Chain A
Amino acid sequence: MSASAEHTQSEAQVQAAASPRRRAMTPYLRTVGAIVWKDLRAEIRSRELINSMILFTLMTVLVFSLALELDADARQNIVAGVLWVTIVFAGILGLGRSLASEKDRGSLDALLLAPIARSALFFGKMIGNLLFVLVIAFVLLLLLTVLFNVTLFKPYLVLMVLLGSIGFTTVGTLLSSMTVHARARETLLPILLLPVVLPILISAVRASTGILDEMPSEDWMPWVQLLAIADVIFLVASYALFDFVVEE
């Protein structure tokens, strides 16, 4: 079937269907929403990221569970550490591919060609990554509850997972956009990311341990506050820096 045979609309009709209105820049939230919609739609269809992240999560939890099978106390004590280490490493798998796949197929240029705020592109990608990490975190909480016999679905712990994931994906999305042009980006991203997310990781583990051990809230609340402050700092820094990161 030739293209010409299927041409049923003239150029005049095509142009008539175009809006004469031309805005200099697409509204911010609409841009963020469009990018999140696209990332979710593409992922639901391909399941490229989420499958590998879930498989990694499952394998990690099983290894920890089997290694510590005979020592119930040890399992109880390290559950917060297992939770956050698994979230971080499974998250790195997703963060690494999120922008790299855009770069490899050239669609990163298509995004940068659109009349959108660069920071809206950042927040669109970051929210998409955050949703994937939260799916992993939910699966992880379920697995740890069953295999470690510890109740993890506590309101404050869920809040901690949300705050920690926001900080981690914010830094991760920014650094993955910085390393996306590098040849050794798969190894470069974790090397750069882990030292930067250390404050987030330490705060999250300390607060999670306090919550799980049912300590008084004054013992772990400062860690929650520190984590919230770190999130705000990383979000503002990413908003300010992303323009320069993607500039050629």
Chain B
Amino acid sequence: MTHAIIEVGKLVKTFGVNPVLRGLDLDVPRGQFLTLLGPNGSGKTTLLRILAALARPTSGTVRIGGWDLPAEASQVRAQLGVVSHLPLLYDTLTATENLMFFARLYDLPAGERGDRIEAVLRRVGLWRRANDVVQTYSRGMQQRLAIARAILHDPAVLLLDEPYTGLDQDAAALLDELLREVAIAGRTVLMTTHDLRRGHALADRIAILSRGKIAFDRLTDEVEADTLPALYTDVTGTVTTR
């Protein structure tokens, strides 16, 4: 039996009197790539922010790698990498300076930082632009650097919140390739997206979040990509164009 690295039980999150997550249950086994689909306002980003220890749950349990949130948030943060639609980088610093800063925040040993930074920059194809300031990068390059930042400390879990937002076709294809390789390396990946086909192509498992709960949950082998849009409409009551 595969042990779950992400365990969420009866998770509730309300903002004021508005419930966003309504008793959500979700387990993600170690090494699995899970794509989480759902319309705007269904609670995808809220769920990811709670998993990333950026927001507190109203009630329910959240464990990542055996550590409880929010009580053991530091231990959880040390094993997470997060990529969102914003690159979360400093545009007046170079790629190397950005990664050196985060290497210090994640307490990578001083003697290993240089090698590690070179390795991840080569990994995302930005080594030749390592000493250019980030504001000279295209949107796609910034997103690749965001992935370099996210895997710099070799996290066990990657949380990706709509990482394709604003990317053109070529940049999105490069990101596909990169995410596949990152996932193949044995990391657990949880990605939210509105792109049904891409989500299906990359993932081992697909879940649909609707009205604050997991309304659909299958392995991708059990779902035909062509039937996914109709299935999505049935589950959420909304139509998707992708």
Does chain B have a CB within 8 A of A139?
Answer: no
Produce 1/0 per residue, B85-102, CB < 8 A to A: 011111111000100011
Residues of B within 8 A of A (CB): 49, 52-56, 74-75, 77-80, 82, 84, 86-93, 97, 101-102, 104-109, 112, 115-116, 118-120, 122-128, 133, 144, 149, 151, 153-154, 174, 177-178, 181-182, 184-185
Does chain B have a CB within 8 A of A217?
Answer: no
Among candidates A6, A17, A41, A46, residue contacting B119 with C-beta atoms closer than 8 Å: A17
Q: How far apart sit A34 and B100, CA to CA, in the bound complex (Å)? A: 9
Find chain B residues with CB under 8 A from A247 CB. Answer: 56
The answer to whether A30 touches B104, judged by C-beta atoms less than 8 angstroms apart, is yes
Q: What are 25 sample pairs from A and B whose C-beta atoms fall under 8 A apart? A: A2-B174, A4-B125, A7-B125, A11-B182, A11-B185, A13-B119, A17-B118, A18-B116, A26-B106, A31-B104, A42-B90, A42-B92, A106-B84, A106-B87, A107-B90, A109-B84, A109-B86, A110-B88, A113-B54, A113-B77, A114-B77, A114-B105, A115-B78, A115-B106, A116-B74
The answer to whether A34 touches B101, judged by C-beta atoms less than 8 angstroms apart, is yes
The answer to whether B86 touches A105, judged by C-beta atoms less than 8 angstroms apart, is yes
Q: Which one of A5, A17, A111 has the highest number of Cβ atoms from chain B below 10 Å of its Cβ?
A: A17
The answer to whether A109 touches B107, judged by C-beta atoms less than 8 angstroms apart, is no
Known: A11-B184, A110-B149. A17 touches B112 (CB 8 A): yes
Residues of A within 8 A of B (CB): 1-9, 11-15, 17-19, 21-27, 30-31, 33-34, 37-38, 41-42, 45-46, 105-107, 109-116, 247-248
| CB proximity of B99 to chain A, nearest CB, Å | 12
The 9 A-B pairs at the shortest CB distance, nearest first, are namely A3-B125, A18-B154, A106-B86, A34-B104, A110-B88, A6-B125, A26-B107, A17-B119, A114-B105
Among candidates B92, B107, B112, B149, residue contacting A46 with C-beta atoms closer than 8 Å: B92
The answer to whether A7 touches B89, judged by C-beta atoms less than 8 angstroms apart, is no
| CB proximity of A156 to chain B, nearest CB, Å | 37
Among candidates A21, A112, A115, residue contacting B54 with C-beta atoms closer than 8 Å: A112
Q: How far apart sit A105 and B218, CA to CA, in the bound complex (Å)? A: 36
Known: A15-B185, A25-B74. A113 touches B80 (CB 8 A): yes
Q: How far apart sit A123 and B80, CA to CA, in the bound complex (Å)? A: 24
Q: Give 13 new A-B contacts, CB below 8 A, not counting A3-B174, A8-B127.
A: A1-B125, A3-B178, A6-B126, A11-B182, A19-B112, A23-B107, A24-B74, A38-B93, A105-B88, A107-B90, A109-B54, A113-B88, A247-B56
Q: How far apart sit A18 and B109, CA to CA, in the bound complex (Å)? A: 10
Q: How far apart sit A15 and B54, CA to CA, in the bound complex (Å)? A: 26
| CB proximity of B39 to chain A, nearest CB, Å | 22
Q: How far apart sit A18 and B106, CA to CA, in the bound complex (Å)? A: 12
Find chain B residues with CB under 8 A from A5 CB. Answer: 125
Q: How far apart sit A17 and B151, CA to CA, in the bound complex (Å)? A: 12
Find chain B residues with CB under 8 A from A4 CB. Answer: 125, 174, 177
The answer to whether A41 touches B122, judged by C-beta atoms less than 8 angstroms apart, is no
Q: How far apart sit A111 and B90, CA to CA, in the bound complex (Å)? A: 11
Among candidates B49, B127, B128, residue contacting A248 with C-beta atoms closer than 8 Å: B49
The answer to whether B123 touches A45, judged by C-beta atoms less than 8 angstroms apart, is no
Find chain A residues with CB under 8 A from B119 CB. Answer: 9, 13-14, 17
The answer to whether A107 touches B89, judged by C-beta atoms less than 8 angstroms apart, is yes
The answer to whether A31 touches B105, judged by C-beta atoms less than 8 angstroms apart, is yes
Find chain B residues with CB under 8 A from A33 CB. Answer: 104
Among candidates A3, A17, A41, A113, residue contacting B177 with C-beta atoms closer than 8 Å: A3
The answer to whether A24 touches B78, judged by C-beta atoms less than 8 angstroms apart, is yes
The answer to whether B174 touches A248, judged by C-beta atoms less than 8 angstroms apart, is no
Known: A109-B54, A114-B106. A14 touches B120 (CB 8 A): yes
Known: A3-B174, A26-B105, A38-B101. A106 touches B122 (CB 8 A): no
| CB proximity of A196 to chain B, nearest CB, Å | 27
Known: A17-B116, A19-B112. A248 touches B123 (CB 8 A): no
Task: Output the nearest chain A residue to B15 by Cβ-Cβ distance.
Answer: A248
Find chain B residues with CB under 8 A from A113 CB. Answer: 52-54, 77, 80, 82, 88
| CB proximity of A94 to chain B, nearest CB, Å | 16
| CB proximity of B223 to chain A, nearest CB, Å | 27
Q: How far apart sit A20 and B215, CA to CA, in the bound complex (Å)? A: 38
Known: A19-B112, A113-B52, A114-B77. A45 touches B92 (CB 8 A): yes
The answer to whether B154 touches A3, judged by C-beta atoms less than 8 angstroms apart, is no
Q: How far apart sit A116 and B49, CA to CA, in the bound complex (Å)? A: 17
The answer to whether A45 touches B112, judged by C-beta atoms less than 8 angstroms apart, is no
Find chain B residues with CB under 8 A from A107 CB. Answer: 88-90
